[in-house]
Amino acid sequence: MGARGLYRTAMADLDMIRERDPSILSRTEALLHPAVVAIWGYRVAHRTHLRGLRRTARLMSTVARVVSGGIEIHPGARIGRRFLIDHGTGVVIGETAVIGDDVTIFHQVTLGSVGWWHDQGRPEGTRRHPEVGDRVVIGANATLLGAITVGPDAVIGAQALVIRDVASGARVLAPIAEPRPRRTHRTQNHRRRAPVAADRARRDHDNTSVTFPTW
């Protein structure tokens, strides 16, 4: 890719941030978005990785991670165009992850493996991380593990744990928390006293019926 191609890619990244983040009003402001540092750092590191300079690529990735506030993208991952990491902190993208075009993910998303104790038994070159299709949205703190495939236009909700393939256009949502009455020391004492009070009232009623005849 020549200088003109790099320029077009950079402008497309900035325009993409303006389109998807209402708080960004200009390309200049988009330059301060944490996703810019992470994505541009990844693009340089990925090209370096493909040339066989793995240690240099890892160094670039580490610097981008520090500057972006904790977005860790392995240089070996393959990421498509117009990729947005909104807010960004705590994102982890593994070495063999594949991400399509126009994908949006939020903070604390993990595209990881199922663990080295499983992956060391795989043949060399086998994919260990998720493959995410075009236009997929992944909510905050979602975790996708293993060599699964997420089809295009799917939505992964916040807090979801995904370890199986997801069909195109599907929605995967985590259970929603339901409010419950708060159990305090006072309410617990009230619950303990309630049966005693009811039994006492019943005895008083029985005694009253004996003391006062029903004439």
- The per-residue pLDDT for range 106-134, each reduced to its tens digit, is 999 999 998 877 777 777 778 899 999 99
pLDDT of 86 higher than 70? yes
The DSSP H or E segment spanning 119 is: helix 116-119
Residue 149 neighbours by CB distance under 10 Å: 16
Other beta carbons within 10 Å of 207: 10
Range with the poorest average pLDDT among 60-64, 153-157, 174-178:
174-178
CA dist 92 and 73 (Å) reads 6
Rounded to whole angstroms, how far apart are CA atoms 215 and 213? 6
Q: What is the mean pLDDT of residues 175-196?
A: 72
Is the pLDDT higher at 200 or at 28?
28
pLDDT digit string (tens) for 33-81? 888 889 999 999 999 999 999 999 999 999 999 988 889 999 999 999 8
Domain boundaries, the chain: 3-172
Q: What is the mean pLDDT of the chain?
A: 86
Give the pLDDT band (50/70/90) at residue 186. Answer: low
The predicted pLDDT at position 185 comes to: 67
Q: pLDDT at position 201, please?
A: 65
DSSP annotation of 166 reads: B
How many angstroms separate the CA atoms of 197 and 113, rounded? Answer: 58
Q: Provide the pLDDT for residue 213.
A: 44
CATH topology of domain 3-172: UDP N-Acetylglucosamine Acyltransferase; domain 1 (2.160.10)
